[in-house]
Every structure is written in C-alpha cells, then in structure tokens.
Copies of this chain bind each other. A is one copy, B any other.
Amino acid sequence: MNQYTQYTKGCSACKDKSEIFGSLCQTELTQLDEKRIEVHFKAGELIFKQGTPNMHFLCLTQGKVKTYIEGYNDKNLILSIVKPVEYILGPGIYADQMHHFSAMAIEDSIACLVDLATFKDLIRTNADFAEDFLRKVSLQSIYNYELFISLTQKQMPGRIADVLLYLKDMVYATNPFLTTLSRQDLADMSGMSKESAIRILREFKDEGIIQVNGNEFEILNIEQLVKISQTG
C-alpha cells in the first residue's frame, strides 16, 4: 500500500465489463484484488516502454492508451488504441519477459497492475480463464492480420479509411467523435508521413466523405469510406 494505491471499487466491479475476468470465481477475484496496484497516468505519460522488463499484467480501467512499436528513425507504428476495461499484455510474458511494444496514455487513465506470477498462476489453475485468455490473444492476432493487409497492400486512402472506421467503430463507438490523437498519431496508425495523412484527410473532406473540425471527426458517407477501405 503506497501513494499509488487506491482502493476504489475493486476487481469485482470490473468483472462484468471485461472479456477475460468472467471466468474467475469470487475467491480468485478477491485474491487478484489484494494483489493489485492502481496507478493513475496523465495524458501523454508513458506506461511502459519497449525493451524494458515486463513485470506486470496490466488492466486499463479508465482512459485510453495507445500501444506502439518503436521502429527505425524515430518512427512508430501504433498497434491499437485500448479502452476500458481491457488488459494490455504483450507476448513477452511467455517468452523473454520483455516489452515488445510501448504503451502511452492518450487520455488521463487508470490502470491496475498485477504481478505476473499471480496472473500465470491463474492461467495454470483455471482452465476457463486460460481459454478466455487464449481467445483474447487470438482475436488480437486476427486483428493484426487485417492490419498487415491494410498496411502492406492498401494505398494511403484505403489505410486512412481503415483508421477512421476503426476509431468510429472500435474506439469511440460514436459517429461524430472527438479524439485526443494527433495527426502524427493517425499517420503512425496508417504507416505514412503525417503530411500524407493530412492530405488524404483533406481529400476526404473535399469529397464530402468526412467532416473535420480540429480533432472532431464526423463520417458523413460511411458506405463510400467502406468502399475505399475495400478497394485499397
């Protein structure tokens, strides 16, 4: 119990909102609750960094976080925008105990940390939990395949369309949506320079497909955007 620790609602409150805690019994949830550390992050703060040891299972309970690979020449590739209640867990925990991507809060956020031993123990002792975890990992993997195709086989308009649809459907779940992501972030999500991202957004705006006001985006013609996404 230190200054970062806050006993708010506890894991039981989270249970209903998350895909992977449904299989834990009350005892296990209590066990988790006692182990967890709640940490607050301000927008822009680094949560963990690629290349550092991966010591905790992390569950985001408030705010939004971007996960990204730091590549060459200070270029980043954003893998996902995580929203509550979702865990953030890299492949390192079952491999080299390292982080293979970084995570940064893009809004003020709250995350719960649980040490890996506790987490791995749950995987070993609760087969339902293990299966739920595998399911989550698998869905993420499927999404990564789509990302592969988007990034390697589509041209810029198709990639920006994918980003806009992803934000609308998966992240904000509203149509005029206000984002804290910068233009550089949008570029890092679609694997292009920020200038190119801006240009494509302008084209979409000129064609009446979207409406842009600073960081507020409204998709006016969803069908056409979907079509652009599909035709690459």
A125 part of interface (Cβ distance < 8 Å): yes
A124-B131, A131-B123 are contacts. A145–B100 as well, Cβ < 8 Å? yes
Q: Please measure, in the bound complex, the distance between the C-alpha atom of A71 and the C-alpha atom of B91, giving whole angstroms.
A: 25
A15 part of interface (Cβ distance < 8 Å): no
- The answer to whether A138 and B91 touch across the interface, beta carbons within 8 angstroms, is yes
Which residues of chain A in 58-98 are interfacial with respect to chain B, using CB atoms and an 8 Å cutoff? 69, 71-73, 75, 77, 79, 91-96
Which A residues form the contact surface with B (CB < 8 A)? Answer: 69, 71-73, 75, 77, 79, 91-96, 100-101, 120, 123-125, 127, 130-131, 134-135, 137-139, 141-142, 144-145, 147-149, 151-154, 191, 230-232
Q: Select one of B73, B125, B145, B147 contacting A232, CB under 8 A.
A: B73
- The answer to whether A142 and B92 touch across the interface, beta carbons within 8 angstroms, is yes
In the assembled complex, how far is the CB of residue A123 from the closest CB belonging to chain B, in whole angstroms?
A: 7
Residues of chain B within 8 A of A100, CB atoms compared: 141-142, 145
Residues of chain B within 8 A of A72, CB atoms compared: 149, 153-154, 230-232
A149-B71, A149-B77 are contacts. A95–B130 as well, Cβ < 8 Å? no
Q: Please measure, in the bound complex, the distance between the C-alpha atom of A232 and the C-alpha atom of B73, giving whole angstroms.
A: 9
